Amino acid sequence: MHNTSLQFKKQVTIKLADVRLQDALSRLQSRFVGGRAAVISEIHDLQETRTAAAAIRDRVLNNLEHWLLHFEQQATARGAIVHWAETGDDVNRIVTEIAAQHNVKTAAKSKSMVSEECGLNDALEQAGISVMETDLGEYILQLAHEAPSHIVAPVVHKNKEEIADLFAEKHNKPRKTDIAELCREAREVLRPAFLNADMGISGANFLIAETGSALIVTNEGNGRLVTTLPRVHVAITGIEKVVPTLEDVTTLLRLLPRSATGQSITNYVSVLTGTKKPEDHDGPEHFHIILLDNGRSKLVGSEMQEMLRCIRCGACMNHCPVYQNIGGHAYGWVYPGPMGSILTPMLSGIEKSPDLPNASTFCGACAVVCPVKIPLPDLLRRLREKQMQLGMKSRQETFMLRVWTWLALHPKFYALGNKIGVRILQLMGGKDKLIHRLPGAGGWTNGRDFPAPAGKTFRELYQQRKQS
């Protein structure tokens, strides 16, 4: 997917003024923030569980090659074929080749953010294979030709009215506004797609090394149909998703749905192991698992490795006051919110996303809710340090920082500078003691007054008090 995060500031302006989006986002907050709060307390040893989950992820990441090879061995032994893809284009090529090999004309897809990284749907369409998204949210987006704005709730930026309009137009049927009726209408379109598909494409929330299984967590049941009905199943996921054992996965599953959607458990947890056996009622004849790197391996062993713990629950964005106000599209790539502000520069190019690591107040709400204890603000700060080292900061910012640091290290000049500064600010404050326009700080005064200081510094007044 093309990275447009250079447009971040422009997008922020647009999104803040988008009344429909703002309305949709206000509901997201109550649903997901409130939802998580309601069920997370079911885990009585929450902090210990988070620590254990982080340790499970670290154990894998500290020895990633071993666990991946172990997974490949086990998956292969059960009839799956494992493919290694360095880039998104490699994934597209591999899927297209598999499709050609099995004479695939149509594919049904369940939700996969990794496939968004690759731009898989476009690549398949170009190869003459028709693809149908079957996750309801993703299906709506496919009809609307839009990208997901949230990794768990992809269509969260749209309200019911917009979807009613879209369905009426694309399905060519009378407009419905009842949610159950809209769902039924989508189901009528999707059912034949499941039954006719030659290939099912899914993601994988986890890969289990000991059994060679791909595990998916879903609510709509489409994931099960996509992975069991078609002749060929292709699961695509990132190399970091491997977990040693089924028992390890159960720890992560205690946290994932609760953190993501406020559910104690999702409607479906599917463990997909190997191809269809003679005694099986269903399952694919061919099972391909594509493991994508796309820059992830560069993070292994680096000071950014903790980011690879991520289990894609979306809690960081749900709780982020920046995401809550602008939604996911403003971030410009596949992954939004705090995790996206780290993954986008790391996977898609640090120079292409100068704003993302900086567009955070470091409020820390994300780190508190992260189920695998990723220190998101610390990682964002490390990216800011990298930007500084790469000379990506503006000349003005670098100059201001240098001056400030120099003054702070030279107290006499600092005191003098402050003394003069506060007097100027006091004068600018005028009668109402508010500065309405401050040159160089328009970012502040365009939307806020700046309360003027009293005219003397603490340092001066304290000296006076000591002398009197």
Partner 1 sequence: MRVGLFVTCLVDSMRPSIGFATINLLEAAGCEVTVPAQQTCCGQPGYNSGDRQAAIALAKKFLDEFEAFDYVVLPSGSCAGMIRVHYPELFRDDPAMLTRMSAVAQRTYELTDFLTHIAKLDKIPGTFKGTLTYHDSCSGLRELDVYKQPRALLAKMDGVTLNEMVESTTCCGFGGTFSVKYGELSTRMADNKCAHITDTHAGAIVGGDLGCLLNIEGRLRRNGDHTTRVLHVAEVLSGMDKEA
- Binding of partner 1 by 168 (CB under 8 A): no
- Binding of partner 1 by 434 (CB under 8 A): yes
Closer residue to partner 1, CB minimum distance, 285 or 378: 378
What does the per-residue mask of binding to partner 1 show for 2-31, with x meaning CB under 8 A?
Answer: -------x--xx--x---------------
In the complex, what is the shortest distance from the CB of residue 142 to partner 1, in angstroms, rounded to a whole number? 30
Integer Cα distance of 410 and 51 in angstroms: 43
- Binding of partner 1 by 426 (CB under 8 A): no
Which amino acid appears at position 308 of this protein? L
- 126 Cα distance to chain centroid: 27
Cβ–Cβ under 8 Å, residues 113 and 237: no
Of residues 67-86, those binding partner 1 (CB under 8 A): none
Q: What are phi and psi of 215, to 5 degrees?
A: -115, 130
Sheet holding 242-243, edge to edge: 242-243, 206-208, 213-218, 268-272
In the complex, what is the shortest distance from the CB of residue 16 to partner 1, in angstroms, rounded to a whole number? 6
In the complex, what is the shortest distance from the CB of residue 38 to partner 1, in angstroms, rounded to a whole number? 16
Cβ–Cβ under 8 Å, residues 343 and 382: no
Integer Cα distance of 152 and 371 in angstroms: 15
In the complex, what is the shortest distance from the CB of residue 389 to partner 1, in angstroms, rounded to a whole number? 8
Q: What are phi and psi of 290, to 5 degrees?
A: -110, 125
Using CB under 8 A as the binding criterion, the count of chain residues that bind partner 1 stands at 60
Span near partner 1 by CB under 8 A; candidates 121-129, 135-143, 178-186, 447-455: 447-455
Q: Angle at the Cα of 289 (from 370 to 307), degrees rounded to 5?
A: 25
Span near partner 1 by CB under 8 A; candidates 36-44, 127-135, 337-345, 454-462: 454-462
Integer Cα distance of 213 and 230 in angstroms: 18
Of residues 358-417, those binding partner 1 (CB under 8 A): 358-365, 367-368, 381, 383-389, 393, 397, 401, 404-405, 407-409, 411, 414
Closer residue to partner 1, CB minimum distance, 285 or 385: 385
Q: What number of other Cβ atoms are within 10 A of residue 87's Cβ?
A: 14
Output the CA torsion sign for 431, 436, 438, 439.
Answer: negative
User: DSSP readout, 346-372?
Assistant: HHH-GGG-SSTTTS-----HHHHH-TT
**Contacts to partner 1 by CB under 8 A:** 9, 12-13, 16, 321-322, 325-326, 358-365, 367-368, 381, 383-389, 393, 397, 401, 404-405, 407-409, 411, 414, 418, 421-422, 432, 434, 441-444, 446-451, 453-454, 456-459, 461-462, 465
